[in-house]
Amino acid sequence: EAALREEGRALATEVREVVIPQEVNRQVTDIVTLKVLPIDYEVKRVDKEASDFRAEAGEKHKEVSDRVDGLREAHVAAERAHKALDSRVGEHGEELGRVRLAMEEGLKAVRGELEGLDQREADETAATVLESVLGRLDVQVQKEECDALRREVEASNARVRADAERGVDKVG
């Protein structure tokens, strides 16, 4: 009887060593199949979505950055054009000032020569001389050129503002 008991215990230990690891292996397989694999799949799916989102955000950022750079370049070009036009307008203004001064000096000289005439005759003669000088200097053409330059600057500024507003609208 003692020998049978001892043999039974040895057999029970042997069965436990074989059966328990198989049962644990089956449970581990079930857990991996039912729990871990779906979680792993979901993690991979979310990681791919995040990667796609980062790539799309990078593309949008580059697109917006390129637009902003273009607007900056347009603004700088418009400022340069504006300064150049202002310079040209200033030069024309200085030239007109010199012409006016020369006309006034010419008028004084004519009046000096006309002192012997009565005032009305002197004024009429001076007006005739002044009109002649103005006609030869073509002051009106210079004024129109200045006005045209100003209109160019205003149009350039309007285009830059419109481009900037369109750029902001597209980005927003």
- Contact of 163 with 71, CB cutoff 8 Å: yes
Nearest to 144 by CA among 99, 81, 92, 67: 92
| Residue 169: C-alpha distances to residues 56, 63, 75 (Å) | 20, 14, 17
Mean pLDDT, 10 residues at a time, over the chain (172 residues)? 82 67 75 81 92 95 91 86 82 79 75 66 70 64 69 76 68 47
For the packed helices 139-171 and 37-113, what is the interaxial angle rounded to 10 degrees?
170
- pLDDT for position 23: 74
**DSSP alpha helix (H) spans, 32-138:** 37-113, 119-137
Query: Is the CB of residue 99 less than 8 Å from the CB of residue 140?
Result: no
Q: Quick check: helix, strand or coil at residue 118?
A: coil
Place of tokens 């609208």: 169
Q: What is the pLDDT of residue 47?
A: 92
Determine how many CB atoms are found less than 10 A away from the CB of residue 20: 10
